[in-house]
Structure formats: structure tokens, C-alpha cells
Structure 1
Amino acid sequence: MLLGVIADDFTGASDIANTIAKGLPPHGGLKTAQFLGVPSRPAPPEIEAGVVALKSRSIRVADAVQQSLAALDWLLSQGCGQIVFKYCSTFDSTKEGNIGPVGEALAKALGARGVVACPAFPGAGRTVYMGHLFVHDRLLNESGMQNHPLTPMNDPDIRRWLGYQTETPVGLVPARVVRQGEAAIRDALAEAEGTMVIVDATSDEELATIGAAIADHKLVTGGSGIAIGLPANFIRRGLAKGSRDSSIGTTGPEAILAGSCSGATRGQIDLHKASHPTLPIDVDKVMSGETTADDIVKFIQANHGKAPLAYSSGTPEDVRRMQEKYGRDEVAHKLDGFFAETAQKLVAAGVTRLVVAGGETSGAVVSALDLGALTIGQEIDPGVPVLLSHGDKPIALALKSGNFGAQDFFTKALNRLTSQ
């Protein structure tokens, strides 16, 4: 492998895998596979980029560092010359969060300094300007992310936010330097005093320029957008040919599970339920055990062929009420287990096309299914590709981060998961 990625959640992993597999014209992308957790076996020899998906975004710092270093060891053993630490394009993290400690631990292991930290993903409306993160035309703390149930983002100054988590000062390469080109970016990063450096980016063109400037960097961190320009570096050097195999999928029964409480997901649910069967999941009843995974499976089976959707998504007020009643961690743990068990039973009952909304929910589902390496296919919406497992009974997946996807994402995703 040439390029290795350590992703702190499963939807983010498929997001950056999609970016790397797609690449930019005229070069194209790399042959990419997504691995669910740190593999115990070598990667297939034809794979040029490997994405190790962890569920480390909201766990204890020490555990996140340990898991990330284990992923690093495996990727280096596969021959990777460049490593990307991928986190969310909305920088999901608390003041005591994991982005800084993991980034510094990886940098120390690789002997890297002046490490880019850039969560920008313009295709999904995330841009960084003067170290501040925007979601479309709103600052991060006014975008709805301030209501995130696990990682509320109350400060758009990600240089300051990352500084709470790091042992060394956080630098900044502002937009005026980025727009001067590759050499200016390289010089600014080389002169940085600390380990990690926020780099402004407001367009894919700027991300491509940043990518070219850091072709020789051992470590890069950011959202999936930071990988836009990386495949071209390997292709220009003759180390990869550039390709994109997008015609993958399967047939069979379908199901949609949504655990995200983001505004985008709630809007997608509202549109979907206007013409498809939907089942709201009562969190109180899940907590008490009155509602079980079997109830969801029965609903899905009764509506095969109709794109059935079961969801626990609620408003910020609903989320706060549940957290105050049961405790934040207890609600998250219970719902993760509930969706994991539901997915296992759905697949056992014959479901082969599965759409999941929400990073934590997706992580719980794919961990429970234990599907091994996933092939990256066609892009459904920016940041969300088709994923296909291997074996006698392939499972086609779409794992959607809460804020991603167009309003009609659910029906579009099921259509794309169908083999052509």
C-alpha cells in the first residue's frame, strides 16, 4: 500500500475512502479498501490505499491513542509511506477530546512536525478561513453542531479548540499564504513551531494545492477533503496508475436505520416518510426494554420492497430530555447496542442492502456485522460511497454521517446499492 488512513469513525472512513478512490481529474484515484478495525491479516496486494475505520472519536483519550497507534503499526507494515489521520469535517471533539492527543502521538511515532490540520470539505459546505470553521455560510457554533449530543461545538476557532488538546502550540497557515501556492505552503509548515498547524482552505482547488505541497509529509490530518490532492502525488511519480471501479452493488431485501439527530437527517426522514413506511423508535421504550430489536426486524420484513426506515432521531430538546433522564453515556450505549443487534438480526433474516445514518450508529452496526474489508464503489452524495463486503453473501452498505446527503438521500442510496 502507498497511502494509509486512520479514521476515528466509520462514516468518516467511508467518506475519505470515497475521496481517495475518486481522486481528481485527470489523474483519478487509488485502488482503495476500507477495513473495519485494525486487520489481523495483510491487505490484498492490489490495494494502493487502505482506510482503517476505528470507533475512537468519543472514547477515552488513552484508548483512542492506543487504537490509533495500533492502526499506524499495521499500515506501516503494509508499506504505507504517508499516513492520514481523518476526523470529522465539523471537528467533532470536546475541549478534552481526542484529535490533539492522537495527532501528537502519531506525529511523535513518525517523527513529524508542522503537521497539517485541515477539516475543510467544501463539497459538503465545510470551509476554514483564518482558522475558523464554517458550515456553508454559518460559523460552526451557529450551524447546529452546538447541539451535538456527544461533541457539542461551541467555538468556531479550531486553532484555539485544538490548542486545548495539544502539548505544543498550534500554528496557522492563513488563506493568503495558501493562495500563494505550493512553495509558500511548504515554507510556512516548515517554519511552524508546534506539532500541528491549522491550514485554511475554502475550495477544492486550494485543497489540491495543499495536497501537492505536502506530498513528502509523513503525516497529514483533517477531514476527507485534505485527501483530495494526495492520490495525484503517487500517480505523478508513477507509483500508481489511477483508477475508479464504481459499478458495484447487490440485490435483495433492504433496510434503513437512522440514529442521527442532526437537522439534515431529520429533514431526510421527513421527506422519506411522506411516501415510504417509517417506524419511529421510542427511546424511553428502548431504555426500559419494552421495544426490542425484534420489533424493528418485524417492521422491516413486513415492508420489504418499500424502502422501510426505522429511526430514533429526535430534536435537540428530545435529546436533552433523554440525557437528563438516563445520562448521556447510558443513552448512547443503549442505542448503539440496540442498533447493532437490530442490524445483526436483519442480515441474518436476509437483508443485503443496508443504509445507516449517523456516525455512532454506523460504527455500532458495522462493528456488530464484522464484515471485514469493504470495496469502495460509486459516490451516492458527496462523502458517501457505496460499500460492498466480500464473501458468499455480499452486503451493500451506505454509511452516512449525520449532516451529509441531499434530502432524497435514503431512496437514492438504496438505488445505488443495487447492482447494475
Structure 2
Amino acid sequence: MSRSEALDLFTRTRARTDALTAPLSPEDTMLQSMEDASPAKWHLAHTTWFFEEFILKPRLPDYASPDDRFAFLFNSYYTQAGPRHARDRRGLVSRPGGAAVRAYRSFVEDSLAGLLARPRDDADEIAALVELGCHHEMQHQELLVTDLLHGLSFNPLLPVYREPEPLPVTSEVPLAYRRLEGGLVEIGHAGDGFAYDCEGPRHKVYLAPYEIAERPVTNREWIAFMEDGGYDDARHWLMEGLAVAKREEWSHPLYWWQQDDEWWTYTLRGPQPVALDAPVVHVSYYEADAFARWAGARLPTEAEHEVAFRDTPIGGNLMGDGDDIGMLRPMPGAGIWGDVWEWTASDFAPYPGFRPPEGALGEYNGKFMVNQRVLRGGSCATPAEQLRSTYRTFFYPHQRWQMMGLRLARDVG
């Protein structure tokens, strides 16, 4: 990536973050509803700190931050970058206020643009770091909207982030599977274009023949699971999953409630009836695994998912740019990419030969490779230019607040 391409990506990425936060009140930007979620104001500042910490400070000896205390407030988990404020108390940092955080963003943006404008011997390295920083910010754009949804859901007024739009009238699409012969295949990033370190090295895996569904599981199918007592039938559940479901009193996906014998859900467009033919969303790995067993199927491995869909062009219900941010909720007629992240049966583990980079940036993914599950496919809150067929996101099996759904797979006898 050239300096000009890096600057263009940086400008587009920062503009998308501004568009996402434009509808928010100062009070909205302070919401932190749980430890897993962060306030919008923190996302704005942390993504700015990333560029400052890993590009400006090391490359500009005379660089001076607008406030040295921001390094403590807005570091997330990079222990080699220094101490940081407690994650579960980010919502208590009312000062610096929103104006100061936006001034910080502007200062860093101007400094980085100036750095990219000057010819340097290390220009290629700087451009690569800017590209990483932009993809990091895209991840936080997704987190920003899902964290906001979780925070707003506790407001009894059920406020609207974006104006609702009517959903299309749909009919059920029969569930169809495609067969793949498997064999010895290669997965992982091949080295062309951007990818995170955890997407490589490319390596060989053996897959037995299998079938994979052409679409994600829908709300209509999930309601059938619920009505059949799926949440209470221990035969379908992992023991740990059932214990979590009982403790948390799960009986339906997150944000659902029943009103006049109809299921409703809270979305970024306010309360809406559950769209029966849209992909089910906000379900944990435990729930997804139980549903798959109930349906006489299973969850695909991440290798099966990648091999099945890697030749399908990226597109669909993803986050857009400018005024066209997108629907920000799953829509009927979902295909391969977008709408919902799809749980897989795979642990988030290092690929053979994986080595994290040296320094604090080596903490980006490697330190999280334990007790989490891989999801594939992107969601309605994933920026389109962030996604690729090798992309691996990961969450703990009990988590539900992200745009999480599932796609079924079956063994072939």
C-alpha cells in the first residue's frame, strides 16, 4: 500500500466513525452497560491512541501528545505499551469530555496526514501500520454499534439510533445444502492484501466430505426450536452451556420479548417485530450448538466454512460508508456474507507455524488464543472493506451481544 492509498483509507475510515457517532448525544457516548462493552467516547479515543502510540510517537521524535494522560486512559490491553485504566470503569471517565476527545482525534489526524505527506525511507512501513490501524478502527466501528445497542436496550423508552424502515414481506426459503468433497485443502491467508497475523500461515488441513447450508438459520426456525422446548431439553445441550442458560434464564435470543402472541426484538432502529425469515441473531455458541443438535446437524468448522465460500465475492448486508451506513440489522434473504457472524465448531487457536510479531503489536491476537470460538462470514455491522474469506473473529461461547448467528453443516456418509 502506497502513502496516498494509506491516507485515502485513513480518511475514509475516520469519516465512517464520525458518521456512526454523529446521531449520539453526549450522554449516549458515555454508556457502558457491562465490562465487555465500552462507551462510544472511549472507542473514539482508543482508536486515536492506536495511531498515536504505534505510529506517531515512534516515528516523530518531536511529537507531543495533546495530553500525556490519554496513554493511560485509552490503552486497552497492550501491556507492553504501559499501564491502563480498568476496563470495567471506562464509563466513569466523564472527563475529558466529548469536545476534548474530538480535538484529540483532529490533532492526531492532522499529524498523521503530515507524516504521510513527507517522503521517508520508512514510508512503506508507515503505510502498512496505517493500514493496520484502519482495520483496527473498523473492528471498533462494529464494536461501537453493538456496544451502543446493548447500552440503549436498558433504557425503558427503547430509543431509536436510526429511523426504522419497513421490512420486505417474505416467505420461507427452504433450507438447502451444498455438498463438498473435502480432501486435503489449504486454508489461511495467502499473502495478497491485508490480513491479521492470526489468519496465517496458510496451511493444509484434511476435510471429510460434508454438506453446508446455503443460508443461515432464520428466526422462523429458531421459534420452532423454542416451541419444541429446545431451551429446556438437556439432550441438545453441552453441560456447561445448559448450566449457563439456566443461570442466565435464557429462553430466547437476546433483546427478544413476546407481545400479544408475537415476538418482538430491540434493534438499532428501535423495537420491531421479529422478521421471521431474517437470520437469527444475538445467540451464544452454546445456543447455536444446541440448535444444531436439535436440527439433526452440527456447526461447521472454520476450515469447512472457508473452503465452501472462499470463491464467493464479498458482498451483502454489511456496513457501508458515508450516509449509507447500512441496515445495521440482519435482513431476510441472507446469503453468504454479512447479516450475522456465524459460529463455528473451531477453537480460536494458532495455525501451525504462527508467530506473533515482536513488541506490543504482537499482543493484538495471540494472547487471546484460549477458550474462545471462531466465527466467520461478517455481519450487518462489519465494514465491507474489512471482510475477506480468511477473516477470523472470536468470542467466548457465552457471549451474545454481538451480531452472532449460525449456519448448519452435516456429515456425508
> TM bucket by the smaller chain?
under 0.3
Instruction: Give the number of the structure whose residues are more often strand, by fraction.
Output: 1
Structure 1 length as normaliser, TM-score? 0.27
